[in-house]
């Protein structure tokens, strides 16, 4: 009963996606199966922290990664916070349970000089697709928006008079991202080429043949294709360009809070990972430049 009530709360009040709801349901179902195996008389309102720790240990023994275990623990924490608010329980058994620690890998990013080399006009075909692809890469690099945000971008979201792009991010949260004159020229050139290429009405800003919106896989392919020309990174995805935007901003002395807002992060902790990246850059510069490094 309370499990279904919680999932409806996430769907209708928190506006979580269907995919996220399925993940929460799976986590809660798996936890329920575990504690029922320990004691059939138990229910969600009667488990304690030891039961949760035992479940986490069993997950790790089954080979689950630390990130997976922590995600499942996060699901339980959200669920029990909900039960506390509903006065179903008086104590949160997940509150004092600590998940397994794992060192986060540093975000992969492209250096500024490599991006400058990539975005030179001569590297793109003088066709609609070539102009579109270059514009997409410029937008990713200049705004840090996510792949889904770029695909959903509409003409009305780009305000050329105030040099602002309205982005609709996760959970339909909107934010404004400023852009400069250089990107403005690129965007205007793209629109002029798009109007020559397709005379019909466009549902989205970036289109493919027939005026249809781009698919996630096609965006991935475009980014990977062009990044392969300038970098040897194993990962060559739109998210790498998001990392590149954040790292470049911080390397050029942007405030962490400002970068957080531009990226649409809910927590400053999420953005702080980029400070470690920039520190690694400083270490490399020191080691290359100082005679006693």
Catalytic residue list: 146, 170, 239, 242, 265, 274
Of the candidates 178, 152, 146, the one whose C-alpha atom is nearest the C-alpha of residue 165 is 178
Look at the block and give the residue holding tokens 């270059």: 134
**Cβ contact 52:97 at 8 Å:** yes
- DSSP class per residue in 181-242: HHHHHHHHHHHHHHHHH--S--SSSSB-GGGPBPPHHHHHHHHHHHHTTT---S--SHHHHH
Please state, in angstroms and rounded to a whole number, the distance separating the CA atoms of residues 7 and 21.
Answer: 6
The one-character DSSP state at 265 is -
Residue 109 CB coordination number (10 Å): 24
Alpha carbon 63 to its chain centroid, in Å, reads: 26
Among candidate residues 93, 89, 72, the one with its CA nearest the CA of residue 23? 72
Question: Quick one: angle between helices 128-143 and 216-227, nearest 10?
Answer: 90
- Please give the DSSP secondary-structure letter assigned to residue 178: E
Tally of CB atoms within 10 A around 231: 19
CA 22 to each of CA 3, 83, 120: distance values in angstroms, whole numbers, following the listed order = 12, 19, 44
Residue appearing with tokens 């200049």: 142
Distance CA 161, CA 137 (A): 22
């Amino acid at each position: 009963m309370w499990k279904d009530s919680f999932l409806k709360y996430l769907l209708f009040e928190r506006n979580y996606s269907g995919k996220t709801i399925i993940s929460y349901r799976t986590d809660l179902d798996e936890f329920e199966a575990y504690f029922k195996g320990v004691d059939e008389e138990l229910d969600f309102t009667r488990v304690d922290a030891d039961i949760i720790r035992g479940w986490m240990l069993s997950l790790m023994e089954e080979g689950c990664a630390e990130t997976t275990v922590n995600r499942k623990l996060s699901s339980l924490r959200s669920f029990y916070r909900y039960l506390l608010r509903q006065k179903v329980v008086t104590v949160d058994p997940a509150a004092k349970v600590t998940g397994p620690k794992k060192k986060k890998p540093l975000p992969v990013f492209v250096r500024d000089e490599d991006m400058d080399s990539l975005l030179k006009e001569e590297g793109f075909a003088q066709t609609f697709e070539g102009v579109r692809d270059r514009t997409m890469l410029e937008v990713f690099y200049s705004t840090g928006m996510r792949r889904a945000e770029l695909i959903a971008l509409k003409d009305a979201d780009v305000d050329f008079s105030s040099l602002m792009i309205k982005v609709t991010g996760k959970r339909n949260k909107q934010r404004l991202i400023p852009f400069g004159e250089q990107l403005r020229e690129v965007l205007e050139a793209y629109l002029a080429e798009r109007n020559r290429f397709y005379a019909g009405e466009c549902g989205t800003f970036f289109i493919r043949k027939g005026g249809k919106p781009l698919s996630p896989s096609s965006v991935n392919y475009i980014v990977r294709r062009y990044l392969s020309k300038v970098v040897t990174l194993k990962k060559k995805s739109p998210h790498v360009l998001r990392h590149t935007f954040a790292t470049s901003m911080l390397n050029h002395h942007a405030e962490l809070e400002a970068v957080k807002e531009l990226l649409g992060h809910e927590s400053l902790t999420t953005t702080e990972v980029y400070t470690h990246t920039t520190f690694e850059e400083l270490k490399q510069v020191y080691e290359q430049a100082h005679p006693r490094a």
